[in-house]
Chain A
């Protein structure tokens, strides 16, 4: 069984989600991996990839389009399939790019598509996997009617393990660009870490009281090497930038650690964080629903608690 894994690079790095996908693909019986990494890479990343791969990893070492050109990516992958043969299974790590590509690759391969996959297949013929549905409120078992499958994994459903020596080589293709789009402006957001890939997130809600009180929260994120996030009303009020908004109508995150400061834990907020490994709640109301979702909790005033945590986190380093 040929298993295709794909990622683009960002800042010359491969996202962790790629290693999760390699691990997923490599854990299946009889699976032989052919992976494609598109975009520039730093040297140390190549060695890293060899450790996780079991099979072949190809590197398309060219600068990627500035805008999200679906035509370009589809063409690239189609050229790859033309040369290396069509895969039986496609495993995609959670990324915004894969979220767009997955459904289109599935159509190209006449494969069934499942997003938000949270388990290794329960069964391979026909394919059966578990996934989140209803915004993480329930798990569904999905069976495919197709022979081939495309799975988009939920973030953080498995920890990458080193599977052995993968083969890493360059691969080239003549890229084709979608015509008729003019780029007027490009901005990079201030934050270096993508929220969807952050391992640690410190997040603030309306209980933070106002934008001028965010300093200790930012300091805690910095001391822990994490990213900052917020609830929807906080971004709606303009206290924090929109890209920090977490929840059903914001970003869906799955870090190892999510610290919710002054967030009540509304069901729409929880829908965005339920994939987190450890949730910490700091809230002055012991009845706040966030404590139901949390693994650790402090009933108290964020303005008192946060500076203490910053101190302790700095000492840890």
Chain B
């Protein structure tokens, strides 16, 4: 069985996002790049599955559509435990473009389980997995909070719309992961970092379908007035203010 994890390369979650002088691009200087938190958890789960089901999983491939600066993040994924990395050399402008590249890749190099994250921390497109599924013709499992292997079948935990389910499905599947898929992300150990240096990282040329959407400008969030403070000894006032002034209760 082969597992693929789609990895989005995103600015560290604590990064203050600001635009460059033109106001039309994000200033990426000094940004520290990380694996999108969901993808990091998906990768963690993939590695756990490989460890728990000895001999069942032949390899874990991580796939990223990104310019060359994405490679440091891919190396990190290798250091954490992926066996092989693929970078498709394109800088996608929207989820469609990313999904299209991924679909072309998987048409050529199928995998049994393909992990995607519920949302990337940069575009927040929350679309790539669902689009990939239609483009590649592979069943989509949204809201995946757990995955287990049992006798050739995949047991998927799905949490969606206030329901929590346990399902038995057979691969191939696209698993769109969310909270619960793994709890603590794996971090690279020294041995992993050494091993990552010799693991294969292949660069593929893109198909370039072209994006459907394009960012034409950025705007900062509207400034917020300072909070109105209420004395601790007068806490009951808060309820009154929320009722009469803010009118939210």
Contacts and interface: CB of A to CB of B under 8 A. Distances in A.
Contacts of A257: 242, 246, 248-249
Nearest to B232: A300
A96 B161 contact: yes
A243 interface: yes
B200 to A, nearest CB: 30
A196 to B, nearest CB: 9
Interface of B: 11, 13-19, 26, 37-38, 94-96, 99, 121-128, 130-131, 133-135, 139-143, 145, 155, 158-170, 176, 179-180, 183, 210-221, 224-225, 227-232, 235-236, 238-243, 246, 248-249
Contacts of B240: 312
Contact of B248 (A115, A188, A256): A256
A274 B155 CA distance: 35
A191 B163 CA distance: 11
B211 A145 contact: yes
Given A115-B127, A182-B168, A187-B165, A141 B216 contact: yes
Nearest to B123: A133
A291 interface: yes
B166 to A, nearest CB: 4
B13 A268 contact: yes
Please classify the interface of chain B as helix (H, G, I), strand (E, B), loop, or mixed, using the class held by over half of its residues: mixed
A141 B249 contact: no
Given A115-B126, A138-B17, A141-B217, A70 B140 contact: yes
A66 B224 CA distance: 43
Given A141-B218, A298-B229, A301-B232, A95 B243 contact: no
A6 B7 CA distance: 31
A141 B215 contact: yes
Nearest to B242: A257
A142 B94 CA distance: 10
Contacts of A38: none
Interface stretch (A28-36, A49-57, A98-106, A162-170): A98-106
Contact of A139 (B166, B212, B221): B221
Interface residues of A, number: 95
Contacts of B161: 8, 10, 68, 95-97, 194
Interface string A174-216: 0000101111111111010010000010000000000000000
B241 to A, nearest CB: 7
A278 interface: yes
Interface string A115-154: 1100000000000101011111111111111100000100
A299 B232 CA distance: 6
A101 B217 CA distance: 27
A99 B118 CA distance: 9
A70 B142 CA distance: 8
A261 to B, nearest CB: 12
Contacts of A40: none
Given A67-B165, A183-B167, A113 B213 contact: yes
A291 B179 contact: no
Interface string A282-317: 000000000111111111110011001101110110
